[in-house]
């Protein structure tokens, strides 16, 4: 009897496992059916998975696929039932878009206040709804959005046209928008704005096409005797386009049209030329910025004026550029730090210290530099601080966290991430550290790091800077002569230790090797036979990535150049050098690619922390950044040979 009961219990357990596996497979199949637009299959799966912990997903996918014909009561029922997760807000957003597009304003007004997320299309529908209700503030908001000069969804057309018809927006505002859109090369939106002008004021769209396709030819051929606003804008657009490839020619053409454009528009043109030239480190960029003045420069232009001035060692220009920025832009840690350095250079030590003091309390690249500058470096506490069981229990009880782990188990990573973020919104430091530990226990090291990184006061640096795969990293570091802390720093930024991660462009594994680079490295080490599947093996990936970084470091001769080269390519890293040596932090801040600029700063901050964790002490970040040597051409051939 006892054996029979055991046999029955075993059979029952096996049946439960089989049923669970089938139900899990249904969840994955539901997502595939949603992607394929198969509403019939979704309906069948939705019915089968009603009792599954992830039942909300097939139900959501079915409703989303049939939203245009769905019963509003069914939508409201789903929103009420699943308010404890991100799907309700996503469905409400999509429903609001549909309601706005179809003009169902009463229902829109009833549902819109419950939307939690920001959405440009819904925001414009909301403006239109308020305009239809004769809300005068809505017209003012439409005007402000119009003048922001950003790309706008089609839903914004109605409130923009309403603002124009009620004379809240007139020709001057339309031209201001056109100018901003053309500066960003948003031709489609510029044409929409152009169509709002009286016919006699509009620019000719064929002329716009000519200015875009051949700016030099357009500028050379433009000889209008009676210049109009349209003439000015197309001339300035062509100048900006030409500056991308030939800034000196663009400056010469601008000067040739200066009498037609007038002083103010000529200054605007120089701002466009200087902005583009600074990003290619053209030596005349500071001169062109000086001709532009600071009064009309955008935050993006002022940022590059500051970077150009940093490379030139012109601290007065750095101070002037940062002081001219909007308050929001000037609060960026980079500009607070460089303004403080500029003030110190001018002898204003107290004003400099007043900026560096608060900045030094922030845990990032510029916070570390600021702390070193004022001698207040706070060494991290590397003692693990496990969360209390009550905090772990609190996190385990959150439905969205439960669903996140279930979705990660099924490798539905995008859905899992949204549940994770939703479950941790407004979470305190104790909760974040508990969540970080739960993620680590589940093998989700990337989620563990990202969650620990969010704490404000209570920190666990062992979670922020973990040391997995220690044996593989130590072996590769010794074999190829690369600092182990640097390898950890790279991996933390590349993949956050997710061994299977693959980027949109195909970079794979811990050190995010591109397919062509991996094939090249496999021949050098060598790895024979090599196959792409090896890139998800931690030991192989780390060995290949460390070897490649060593080659880049050897050929470029500097760790900052090598770090930039690892992300953007060795050739670009070398082109970004100056003729003269540059402080490492200035080189990093003046990298033209936003992603690479951020990457280098984060990797080097990571390296500072990992030196402390692995060796018990760390050189200063300023030492790690060092001085990037001037361009000499000696290593150009070696760099060109790298993939």
Active site residues: 494
Cα 279 to Cα 590: distance, rounded to the nearest angstrom: 8
Give dist(CA 379, CA 400) in Å, integer: 35
Q: Can you spell out the DSSP letters for 359-402?
A: HTTS-SHHHHHHHHHTT-------S--PPPHHHHHHHHT-HHHH
Residue found by looking up tokens 């594994």 in the block: 509
For residues 161 and 166, give the distance between their C-alpha atoms in angstroms, rounded to a whole number. 9
Q: Which of helix, strand or coil describes residue 513?
A: strand
CA distance linking residue 285 with residue 292, whole number of Å = 11
Q: What are the structure tokens assigned to 217, written together?
A: 């030819």
Residue indicated by tokens 């990184």: 453
The answer to whether 607 touches 489, Cβ cutoff 8 Å, is yes
Residues contacting 7, CB < 8 A, separation 6+: none
Token pair listed for 144: 């402000």
**How far apart, in Å, are the Cα atoms of 154 and each of 98, 189, 352?**
13, 10, 47
Classify residue 606 by burial, with Cβ atoms within 10 Å: 0-12, 13-18, 19+.
buried
Helices (H) and strands (E) in the chain, counts: 39, 2
Rounded CA-CA distance 533/536 in Å is: 6
**What torsion do the CA atoms of 149, 151, 155, 156 make, to the nearest 10 degrees?**
0
- The DSSP letter of residue 511 is T
Question: Each residue of 7-41: b (16+ CB within 10 Å) or e?
Answer: eeeeeeeeeeeeeeeebbebbebbbebbeeebeeb
Collapsed DSSP state (helix, strand, coil) of residue 508: strand
Looking up tokens 């051409």 gives: 633
Cβ count near 353 (within 10 Å): 16
Unique residue bearing structure tokens 């596996």: 21
- Give, as one character, the DSSP assignment of residue 578: -
**Torsion of the alpha carbons at 230, 235, 240 and 246, rounded to the nearest 10:** 160
* Alpha-carbon 372 to chain mean position: 28
Cis peptide bond prior to 312, omega within 30° of 0: no
Query: Which residues are within 8 A (CB) of 286 and not within 5 positions of it... i.e. 6 or more apart?
Result: 274, 305, 308, 309, 312, 314, 317
Look at residues 429, 438, 349, 327 and name the one whose alpha carbon lies nearest to residue 389. Answer: 438
Residue listed under structure tokens 């089938």? 22
């Amino acid at each position: 009897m006892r054996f029979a009961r055991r046999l029955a219990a075993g059979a029952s357990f096996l049946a439960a496992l089989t049923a669970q596996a089938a139900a899990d497979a249904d969840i994955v199949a539901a997502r595939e059916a949603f992607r394929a637009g198969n509403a019939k299959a979704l309906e069948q799966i939705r019915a089968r998975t009603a009792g599954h912990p992830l039942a909300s997903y097939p139900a959501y996918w079915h409703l989303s696929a049939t939203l245009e014909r769905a019963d509003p009561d069914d939508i409201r029922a789903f929103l009420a039932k699943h308010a404890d997760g991100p799907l309700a807000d996503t469905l409400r957003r999509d429903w609001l878009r549909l309601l706005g597009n179809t003009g169902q304003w009463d229902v829109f007004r009833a549902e819109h206040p419950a939307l939690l997320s920001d959405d440009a299309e819904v925001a414009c529908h909301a403006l239109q709804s308020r305009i239809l209700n004769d809300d005068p503030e809505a017209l003012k908001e439409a005007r402000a959005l119009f003048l922001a000069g950003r790309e706008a969804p089609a839903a914004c057309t109605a409130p923009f046209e309403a603002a124009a018809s009620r004379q809240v927006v007139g020709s001057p505002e339309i031209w201001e928008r056109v100018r901003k859109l053309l500066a960003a090369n948003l031709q489609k939106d510029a044409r929409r704005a152009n169509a709002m002008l009286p016919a006699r004021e509009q620019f000719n769209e064929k002329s716009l096409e000519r200015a875009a396709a051949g700016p030099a030819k357009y500028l050379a051929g433009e000889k209008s005797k009676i210049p109009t606003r349209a003439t000015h804008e197309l001339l300035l657009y062509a100048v900006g386009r030409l500056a991308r490839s030939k800034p000196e020619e663009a400056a010469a053409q601008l000067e040739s049209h200066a009498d037609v454009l007038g002083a103010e528009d000529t200054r605007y043109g120089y701002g466009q030329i200087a902005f583009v030239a600074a990003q290619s480190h053209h030596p005349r960029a500071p001169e062109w910025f000086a001709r532009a003045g600071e009064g009309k420069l955008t935050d993006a232009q002022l940022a590059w004026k500051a970077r150009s001035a940093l490379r030139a060692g012109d601290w007065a220009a750095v101070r002037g550029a940062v002081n001219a920025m909007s308050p929001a832009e000037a609060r960026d840690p980079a500009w607070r730090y460089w303004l403080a350095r500029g003030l110190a250079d001018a002898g204003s030590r107290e004003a400099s210290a007043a900026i560096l003091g608060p900045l030094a309390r922030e845990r990032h690249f510029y916070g570390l530099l600021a702390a070193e500058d004022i001698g207040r470096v706070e060494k991290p506490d590397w003692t693990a601080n496990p969360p209390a069981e009550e905090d772990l229990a609190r996190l385990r009880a959150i439905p969205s966290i439960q669903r996140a782990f279930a979705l990660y188990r099924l490798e539905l990573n995008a859905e899992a991430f949204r549940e994770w973020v939703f479950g941790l919104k407004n979470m305190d430091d104790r909760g974040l550290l508990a969540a970080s530990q739960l993620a680590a226990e589940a093998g989700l090291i990337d989620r563990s790091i990202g969650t620990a990184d969010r704490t404000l006061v209570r920190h666990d640096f062992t979670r922020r800077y973990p040391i997995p795969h220690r044996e593989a990293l130590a072996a590769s570091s010794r074999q190829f002569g690369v600092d182990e802390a640097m390898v950890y720093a790279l991996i933390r930024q590349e993949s956050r230790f997710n061994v299977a991660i693959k980027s949109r462009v195909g970079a794979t594994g811990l050190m995010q090797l591109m397919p062509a680079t991996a094939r090249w490295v496999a021949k050098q080490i060598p790895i024979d036979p090599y196959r792409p599947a090896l890139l998800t093996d931690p030991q192989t990936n780390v060995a290949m990535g460390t070897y490649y970084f060593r080659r880049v470091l050897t050929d470029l001769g500097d760790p900052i150049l090598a770090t930039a080269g690892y992300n953007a390519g060795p050739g670009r890293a070398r082109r970004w050098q100056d003729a003269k040596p540059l402080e490492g932090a200035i080189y990093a801040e003046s990298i033209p690619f936003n992603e690479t600029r951020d990457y280098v700063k984060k990797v080097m901050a990571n390296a500072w922390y990992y030196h402390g964790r692995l060796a018990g002490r760390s050189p200063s970040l300023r030492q790690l950044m060092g001085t990037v040597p001037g361009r000499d051409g000696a290593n150009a051939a070696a760099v060109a040979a790298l993939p």
